[in-house]
Amino acid sequence: MKSVALLTLGCKVNQYETQAVREALQGSGMREVGWGAPADVVVINTCAVTAQADGRSRKAVRQARRRNPEAVIVVTGCYADSDSLGGWAGEADAVVPNASKGRLAEVVRSAIAAREAGTPFRGRLAGRVAWEGSRFAGRKRMADPALTAEEATSTELMTIRSFEGHTRAVLKIQNGCDLFCSFCIIPYTRGLPRSKPLARIESEARDLAASGHREIVLTGVHAGAWGQDLPGRPRVADAVLAALRAPVDRVRLSSIEVQELTAREFALLDEPRFCRHFHVPLQSGDDGVLRRMNRRYSAADFLRAAGEIRRRVPDAAITTDVIAGFPGETEEAFANTLRVCEEAGISKIHVFPYSDRAGTPAAGYDGKVGPRELAQRCDRLDALGSRLGGAYRSRFEGKTVDVLFEGLDEPSGLAGGFTDRYVSVLAASDTPLRGRLLPIRVTGIAPEALLGSLS
């Protein structure tokens, strides 16, 4: 029985797709071993969302070759698409672009057979590696959708039956993005938006529930774009309702853009099993910066959406992403971002320092922010996020909250889990609580979590 080691870098979409690959490889009779262990095959699912992600991806490929010099190494993911002929590529036996990721298990089987037969692995050569699949991978422009439709079915219709190692299961509902934010490489590596049909979403949600998952997180490269390519142009709220037809305790939407929050999406807050949590990327609270980013909303739009969420559910969680130091961001513009986060009552800020992505418009913009100022702005955003997060968590002191436990929190030795508002909770227990959804009485507040006791 051949062994395979899997490494996933980056987003929930990558995590989902790795699980689909895992199930396909296991169905082929392969057994999984831990990352770094001797393996016959190594699969690395890369990320390219930031320059740091690029570096981690290159390092992982080279590390895999050093550790397993005789292994078949297969690289996939966004970094593979964005830098197909990079210096790292000579370490790989095959590169499988995102659009062909659904065929990855087939590529692995072919590569193993070629290795055992002592013949070259057949694929379109790109440098020293066999390039398998997409005709648009690696381009610095969007592909014609007519060129990708046939290939897309292998990725967009991927399904999983469980989300191994997790209490909360991720369910990918769509792929691709056509927003073309000026700083983002992802539309060039993932292609145009393509949606999973409603019936498949419901069926997959039922399979995940049958595997014991009590919460499902609907995700996608641009999840709010789900449905725009389907007959009748349904909205992402319809995908959520389809998942809610499965017997699970919670359904969460991973992310949604401001302009995609309509009355249909706000009405989801009336659904008892829909998590009272919206992750809405802000990126900047300054209208001038938003225009240069090619974002499709204003700071006032963001605040109106936050206000509507609060009107419906006063203690709902609103989390966000912010890019610090976008080219041309002045101190005044940065101050506007701090103000908008404060006024919106954000419960958690994911801070990203701006980094150039080759092939994007922003990489050629003037007004780059220096490294010292960039670091300071990240620190100020982190400090604001800590203060706002603490203020938000304090709302729950003395109350009882429902917590889905994920396991032991190693630093504290306490059982850890999350509320439907995605607030971390720690509680003492004499028995394992993993996978249990329990009421917890909040007794205190830690720096990044609530402290509680079993009710």
Alpha-carbon gap, residue 362 to 358, rounded angstroms? 9
Residue 129 reports pLDDT greater than 60: no
Pairing of strands 250-253, 124-126: unpaired
Alpha-carbon gap, residue 82 to 307, rounded angstroms? 38
Answer for the pair 201, 243: CB distance below 8 angstroms, yes or no.
yes
Residue 440 reports pLDDT greater than 90: yes
Q: Where are the beta strands (DSSP E) in 106-149?
A: 124-126, 129-131
Beta bridge partners of 401: 440
Alpha-carbon gap, residue 97 to 190, rounded angstroms? 9
What tokens does 62 get? 């080279």
- Please report which helix (H) or strand (E) contains residue 150, including its range: helix 145-156
- pLDDT band at 89, cuts 50/70/90? low
- For position 312, what pLDDT does the model report? 97
What tokens does 159 get? 């399904």
Query: Domains plus CATH for the chain?
Result: 3-141 (3.40.50.12160), 153-394 (3.80.30.20), 400-454 (2.40.50.140)
- pLDDT band at 209, cuts 50/70/90? very high
Alpha-carbon gap, residue 392 to 395, rounded angstroms? 6
What tokens does 37 get? 């262990």
Stretch 215-237: mean pLDDT, rounded? 95
Best-predicted range by mean pLDDT (36-40, 385-389, 409-413): 385-389
Query: What's 309's DSSP letter?
Result: H
- For position 82, what pLDDT does the model report? 79
What tokens does 311 get? 């009107």
What tokens does 372 get? 């010292």
- For position 116, what pLDDT does the model report? 83
What DSSP assignment string belongs to 270-289?
GSTTB-SEEE---B-S-HHH
Answer for the pair 81, 98: CB distance below 8 angstroms, yes or no.
yes
Q: Which of 259, 267, 221 is nearest to 240 (CA)?
A: 267
- For position 141, what pLDDT does the model report? 45
Answer for the pair 53, 23: CB distance below 8 angstroms, yes or no.
no
Give buried/exposed letters for 201-213 (b at 16+ CB in 10 A, else e).
bbebbebbbeeeb
- For position 145, what pLDDT does the model report? 45
Beta bridge partners of 4: 32, 41
Q: Which residue has the tokens 């971390």?
A: 424
Lowest mean pLDDT among 87-96, 348-357, 366-375, 376-385: 87-96
Kindly report the average pLDDT of the chain as a whole number. 90
Q: Report helix, strand or coil for 346.
A: coil
The answer, as to whether pTM is greater than 0.85, is yes
What tokens does 142 get? 């969007």
Residue 405 reports pLDDT greater than 50: yes
Alpha-carbon gap, residue 310 to 261, rounded angstroms? 13
- For position 147, what pLDDT does the model report? 42
Lowest mean pLDDT among 92-96, 237-241, 359-363, 439-443: 92-96
Give whole-number Cα distances, 127 to 74, 81, 124, 284, in Å.
15, 14, 10, 40
pLDDT digits (tens, 9 = 90+) for 99-115: 888 888 888 888 888 88
Beta bridge partners of 349: 320
Residue 326 reports pLDDT greater than 90: yes
- For position 416, what pLDDT does the model report? 96
Residue 91 reports pLDDT greater than 90: no
- For position 411, what pLDDT does the model report? 85
In angstroms, the first-to-last Cα distance of the chain is 48
How many C-beta neighbours within 10 Å does residue 328 have?
Answer: 17
Contacts (Cβ under 8 Å, ≥6 apart) of 257:
179, 222, 224, 280, 281, 296, 297
Q: Which residue has the tokens 């971002």?
A: 337
Contacts (Cβ under 8 Å, ≥6 apart) of 111:
41, 72, 74, 93, 94, 121, 130
Answer for the pair 176, 190: CB distance below 8 angstroms, yes or no.
yes
- For position 139, what pLDDT does the model report? 44
Alpha-carbon gap, residue 152 to 102, rounded angstroms? 9
Query: What's 246's DSSP letter?
Result: S
Residue 25 reports pLDDT greater than 80: yes
Q: Where are the beta strands (DSSP E) in 78-208?
A: 94-96, 124-126, 129-131, 168-175, 194-195
Question: Nearest-5° angle of CA 165, CA 203, CA 99?
Answer: 70
Query: What's 50's DSSP letter?
Result: S
